[in-house]
Chain A
Amino acid sequence: MRYLIAVLFSGIGMLLHAQNIPSFNTAQFQVMGARALGPSTMSGRITAIEGVYADAQLNLYVGTAGGGIWKSQNGGQSFAPIFDKYNQSIGALAVEPGNARVVYAGTGESNMRNSVSIGEGLYKTTDGGSNWQKLGLDSTEHISKIVLDPADKKVLYVSAPGPLFKASKHRGLYKSMDAGKTWEKILYINENTGCSDIAIHPTKSNIVFASTWEFRRKPFSFVSGGAGSALYKSNDGGKSWNKITKGLPEGNLGRIVIAINPSKPSQVLAIVEAKESGLYQSNDEGETWTKLTSATGLTARPFYFSTTLVIDPKDAKRVYRPAYDFNYSNDGGSTFSNTVIGGVAPHADHHALWVNPTNTDMLFLGTDGGVYLSYNKGITWEFLNNLPVPQFYHVSVDNQSPYNIYGGLQDNNNWMVPNTAPGGVSSTDWKALGGGDGFWVQPDALDEKIVYAESQGGEMYRINLRTGLSTGIKPKLQAGEEEHRWNWNTPIVTAKSNSKSATGKALSNLYVGAQYLFRSRDNGKNWERISPDLTTNNKAIHNKSENSESVTGDNTSAENHGTIFTIVQHPQNENIIWVGTDDGNLMFTNNGGKTWTNKNAGITKAGVPAQAWISSIELSAHNPNRIFVTLDHHMYGDNHTYVVVTNDGGNSFTKFESEEFSGFAHIIREDIKTPSLLFLGTESGFFISLNAGKTWMRSKYQNLPWYSLVRDIKIHPATNDLVIATHGRGVYIIDNIQPLREMVQSDLSKPFLFYPIQPFKYEFGAQYPQSAPNLIGYAGASKSLAPTFYYYLKERSNDIVKIEIYNSENKKIKDLNGSGLKGLNKVYWTLTSNPPRVAKGGFIAQSSVQAAGFLGPKVPAGKYRVVIKAGKDSSVQILSVLPNPTVGLSDAALQKMYQQNMRLFVLEEQLATMVDTIDAKLSVWGNQTTNDEISKKRKSLDSFKRELIELNRKSIFFDEQKFRRKISDFYLDMVRALEPLSESQEKGINVLEAEMKVFQDRLKSLL
C-alpha cells in the first residue's frame, strides 16, 4: 500500500522535505487565517437555549445545529462562540442550578431530518465555557436532552435517541450519580429504539418520565415510530420503570415530548405521535391520561419538533408549543393560538425555547433561522441579528470586482454578497435570491447577470439581476421518460461552452441532473437530455413515501433517491463530463453525452462501498488523467471519510487515508497552481495536504472551528482566494493562498526564510457607501489592501522580529514589529513612513496633534528595500510599489502627494525643534528668578510659546487652535488624502511655511 502511494506520487516530485512532514501542522501557516463572513442575516438552526443570571447579568448559552455553542453575557445583545475546538452539532445543553459557569453540552442534534449532523458525546465546562472536558457517551451520535436532579446537582440524566442511520446499542437513557464521571444506562429497549425525552419532578425528584422512540432513516425513507416507542415512568430515580399506557393512544407510537407543570407538578403534558397524534394531559403524576387536542399545529412533524414543549414556570395555564410556528395556550393546553401581532414573525421551524423564570414575559426562541426574543410571552418578537451560524450547502463565485459569493442555505434561501465591502461585510450586504431550502446558486458562465438557483427537489429558477425578475426553468417530463427523480440537493452547474450558436454567438452550458443529465445552452429555456438514466435505477431504493411504515408521514423530497448528485464539465473541453449519483455510479463521457461509461468499479476495488453517494468530483488542472472523488456513505450508518484519486482516467483508484480524518466527505479541491496542494471538506473538518494527499492536516488555525462542517470549497481564479462554505458557520475566505504555495515549495529545514514580496499596485479599499451602523449585525472583515511580507521561522522566536523599510535613497523610513510564530508569519505595511516628531505640550487627547504623532505620510511608488531581522538571522527582499494610473494614482500624482505631505511633515518637526529649544531655554531661565531682565525675557518667551502650541486646552471639547493645530490639521488632511492637493489648495502650505519663517525669526530675537 505504501509502496503503491510512493509510486503514484513519484511523478509529482517531492515538494516537501520529508524530515519536515511529521512535525508539520496547520499552526505553521496560521497567518493564513480566514475572514469569517457569516452572515447573521438569516442565522441558522438553533437547537438549545439555556439562560441563567450571573452577577446580575443574563447569561445565555445557545446550541446550534452546526455552529457550536454561543454565549451571551448580556441577554443576547452580543454573543461569542465557546465551543470551537469540538464537535459543532449541539443536541442539548444544561446549566447546573446555582452555578452559571457549570454547563453540560450534548453533541449531535436530535432534530432528525435528512441533513442532520452527528455528535460525538457529552462535554462539561466548569468555567463558563473557557475549558471543556469530554464526559463520554461518544457513540450515541445524537443527544436530545440533559436534565439535572433539582435536589442533587451531581445527579444527571441524558437521553440519547442514538444513531439515525443504523442499529446501535449506544442509545437509551443514561444516568450519572457523580456529575458526569461515570454513567449507567438505566433505560434501554433495543438497538432500534432510543430515548428521546426526559422530565423530572421538581420537588419529588425520584419521579422521572422518559419517552422511548423507535426510528430509522435510510437514503430513500424515514420511519418514525414502532413497537419500541413508549412513555415510561420511574418512582425510584430510574432504578425501575413502568410503561404508561392508560389513556394514551393504542398501536405503534412515534416520538413523544413530555413536560411537567412546574407550578403544579401533579399535572403532566405529552405530545404523542400516533396514528392520531395529540396533546395529552395527566393530572395524577402521569398515571392516567386524557387527550386535550389533536390540533395539527402541535402535532405535525414530531421527528423535527418533539424536542420542545414548555409550560410557563409560574402560570400553570400558559403552555408553549414551538413547532412549525409558535403555538401558545392560556387554558392549560386545550386550545392554542399562533397569532403574532407587531414585530417580526419568527422564522418557521422551532426547536428550543427558554422562558426566563424571573420574568416570564421574556422568551427566547430557537428556530431554523436564529434566535428570537419576546417581551410579551410570544405575542411579538424581535430577531437577534448577531449569530452567524448559517448552514451553507454550496458556494460559487463570479469574476466581478470585487467578486461576489453565491450560496444556498438550509431552510434559508439562496444568497449573494460581495466578498469585501467598505467597513466590513455586514448583514445588509447579503441579498436574498429566493428559494426555500437553498442549495446550488451560480451565475451563468458567459453573462454573470444571469443567476441560476433552486429550492429543494430541483425547483430551479433563473434570476436576471438587471431586471430583478425570476422565472422557473425546471425541465418538464418528456414522452418516453420515466418520472423524474430530483435529489433534495439537485446539482445545477454552469460551464463554458466551446460551441457557437447558428448566428455565431458564444454559448454557455447549464447542466442539471435528475436521473438523467440535462443541458441547456439558452439559459434554461430549452433542455436537451444528454444521457440515459445514469443511476443504478434500482427501484428498491427509490422513495415510496406512500408505502412508508412511519406512524406519521413526511415527504418533502428529502428522501428522493436514485438521482444525480454531482456534475462536472471539463473547463476547457465541453465534451468531457463527469457525473456522480447518490447510489454510487461515477459516469463519464468524452463526447458530450453520446456515450457514457461507469467508472464505479475502480472505486469499489479501492475499498469504498459501492452504494456510497458521489459527493464531489474534482478534475485535476495539472494532469488530464487525474480525478479526485469524495464519497459519502453515512446514510448507511458508515461515517468513514472516503476520498479517492485516479491517475489513469478512472480505471483504478487509490484511497487517501489519514488518522486526522473524521466525518463523511463532501468536497475535495486541488489547487489550480500547485498540484501538491489539496483541500478537503468533511462533515467534521477542513483538511489540507501539502504533499498531494500523502499526509493531511486538520485545519485548526485558519480561524475555522476545528470540527467545522465543510460542504464546499472554491478557489477564485483571479485573486487566488480560498472560499469555504460551512454548514453552520457561514462562509470563510482565506485571502490569496499564494504564500502557502511558496511555502510548500521552499526548503523548510532552513531556520529563516523571507519570501519574495508580491509587487503591490497602489490601491485604496473603498470607504463608502457603508451600511448603517445599527443594521450591521454581525460583520465579517473586509479584504486587506496592503503590501504583505511573509517570512518563515522554523522555530518560534523568543524575541521580537524587527522589520525595517528603506526607500530608494537608502533612508530608513519605517520600523515595524513582526510576529515570531513558528512557521509562516505575515506583516502588512500600510505604505506609510514613520510619523513626524510633534511639538510637545498641553492636553492633546483626540486632537489632530495627537493623531499626527501616530500617522506617517503615504510613500510614493518605487522600490523599497525590506529588511527582516529575526534573532541572528536577517534577510532582504525588494518590494515594488507600482503606480495605478487607471484609478488616478499615477507615478507623478503619488510623488506630488508625498512631497506635499513632506512639506507639512517638515513643518511639524521644525515646530517640535522650536518648542524643544524654547523649553530648554525656559528651564535654564526658570532657575534665575532673581534676575529681572531674565524674568522679563522668560515672560516674553512663554507668551511666544503660547502662540505656537495649545496650552489652554483642558478637555476634548475645547478647540483651541494655535500654530501647532494649524499645521497638524493640514498634515492630517494630507495623510488621509487619496489624491494630491490642487494648485490652489497647495498654496495653503505656502502660507504656513511663511508663518513658520516669521516665527523662526521672532524666536531668534527672543533667545
Chain B
Amino acid sequence: MKKILLSVLVVFAAVAGLSAQTADEVINKYITAIGGADKWSKILSLKVEGQIEVQGLAIPFTMQAVHMKGMRVDAEFQGNKIIDITTPTKGWSQNPLMGKSSLEAITAEELKSKLDELDVQDEFVNYKEKGSTVEFLGKEEEEGTSYNKVKLTTKNGNEKTYYFDLVTNLIYKEETTTKQQGQEVKASVKYLDYKTLENGIKMAFKSDMGMMMMVTNKVTINPTIDETIFSGN
C-alpha cells in the first residue's frame, strides 16, 4: 500500500468492503443457533417468570407479551407493586420505589425506546420484513475475546450493537443507544445461561445488567393471554 502512495500518490483506503452479506452470515448463524426462524415465527405470545437479583435481594417478576400487541411486567417488592405496560401506541408504568405510586402514562420518547420489546420473536428473525437495517462492524475485541459486531437499527429508530460469540454464534452482549430529551443514552446487557426450550428454541435465562441480574425461571410459549391486561386501567 505504501508503495502505491509513493509511485502514483494515490492512497487506497483501508476500509474493508464490509458488506451486508457478512452481516447476514453472522445473523443467519445466530438464528440457526437459537433454533431457526421457523420455530421463532410461530411464537405469538410469551410468558416469562423470574426474579431480579440486586445485592442478595430477589424481586420476583412476571412478563407477559402478545406479539406486537402488548407487553406487561408485574413485580413486587416489600408489598409494593411494580407494573410496566407497553403497547404500540401507549405505555404506562407504576413504580413506587421510584415514587410513582400509581399507573402513569409514559412519554412518547420513553415509549419509542420500548416499542422494540413488543417483538417476542427474536429481533433478528425476519429483520428485513420488520423494517430493521443491519450493518456489520467487523470483528472486535471485547473483554479480551473477539466477537462479530453487528449494528441493528429498528424501524423505531433504536440503535443496538450486538456482540456475537465466534464459537456458539449466540449473542453475548448488547449495547443500546436510546434518545432521551435529545440526548443519546447508552446501556449494555450481557446474556448468559442459554437454555433450549421444549419447542427447540434457545434463550438466555440470565441477563447481566451490571448492578442487577435478571434471572428467568420459567418460560411459557404461546400461553393464552387476556389482552385487557395491556389496557393501562
- Could you tell me which A residues sit within 8 Å of B by CB distance? 25-28, 30, 54-57, 73-74, 127-128, 130-131, 133-139, 169-170, 174, 176, 180-185, 188, 700-701, 796-800, 814-817, 820-823, 834-835, 838, 840-846, 849-850, 853-854, 954-956
Contact = CB atoms under 8 A, between A and B. Distances in A.
B144 A798 contact: no
B134 to A, nearest CB: 13
28 contacts: A27-B145, A73-B184, A136-B14, A180-B13, A181-B15, A182-B11, A183-B11, A185-B10, A798-B192, A798-B194, A800-B193, A800-B215, A816-B56, A817-B56, A820-B192, A820-B208, A821-B143, A822-B143, A822-B145, A844-B80, A844-B96, A845-B97, A845-B99, A845-B101, A846-B99, A853-B57, A853-B77, A853-B78
- Which size bracket describes the interface of B in this complex? 35 or more
B144 A27 contact: yes
A135 B13 contact: yes
Main secondary structure of the interface of B (DSSP, over half): strand
B15 A133 contact: yes
Interface of B: 2, 5-6, 9-15, 53, 55-57, 77-80, 96-99, 101, 137, 141, 143-145, 149, 151, 159, 161, 175, 177, 179, 182-184, 186, 192-194, 206, 208, 213, 215
Contact of B15 (A180, A821, A850): A180
A378 to B, nearest CB: 27
B14 A134 contact: yes
B95 to A, nearest CB: 8
A799 B9 contact: no
A128 B184 contact: yes
Nearest to A186: B9
Given A176-B13, A700-B144, A834-B56, 16 more contacts: A73-B182, A73-B183, A73-B184, A138-B14, A184-B9, A185-B9, A185-B10, A701-B143, A797-B192, A816-B55, A817-B56, A822-B143, A841-B79, A843-B96, A845-B97, A845-B99
A798 B99 CA distance: 35
A130 B160 CA distance: 11
Contacts of B137: 131
Nearest to B193: A799
B10 to A, nearest CB: 5
Contacts of A131: 137, 149, 151, 161
Contacts of A834: 56
Given A800-B206, A850-B97, A184 B151 contact: no
A840 B78 contact: yes
B101 A955 contact: yes
Given A136-B14, A845-B99, A54 B182 contact: yes
Contacts of A133: 15
Nearest to B95: A845
A841 B141 CA distance: 48
B192 to A, nearest CB: 6
A840 B77 CA distance: 9
A665 to B, nearest CB: 24
Contacts of B183: 57, 73-74
Contacts of B149: 131
A127 B159 contact: yes
Nearest to A840: B79
B213 A130 contact: no
B101 A843 contact: yes
Contacts of A184: 9-11
B78 A844 contact: yes
Nearest to A174: B11
A200 B126 CA distance: 46
Nearest to B78: A853
A182 B13 contact: yes
A720 to B, nearest CB: 24
Contact of A169 (B6, B192, B193, B208): B6
A854 B15 contact: no
B102 to A, nearest CB: 9
A174 B11 CA distance: 9
Contacts of A26: 144
Contact of A134 (B15, B145, B161, B192): B15
Contacts of A843: 80, 96, 101
Given A128-B184, A182-B13, A170 B5 contact: yes
A136 B13 contact: yes
B14 A28 contact: no
B55 A796 contact: no
A800 B96 contact: no
A799 B207 CA distance: 10
A73 B192 CA distance: 33
B205 to A, nearest CB: 9
Contacts of A130: 159, 161, 175, 177, 186
A180 B9 CA distance: 15
A406 B57 CA distance: 43
Nearest to A140: B11
Nearest to A835: B57
Given A136-B11, A820-B192, A796 B6 contact: no
A626 B189 CA distance: 47
B2 A183 contact: no
Given A57-B182, A798-B194, A845 B96 contact: yes
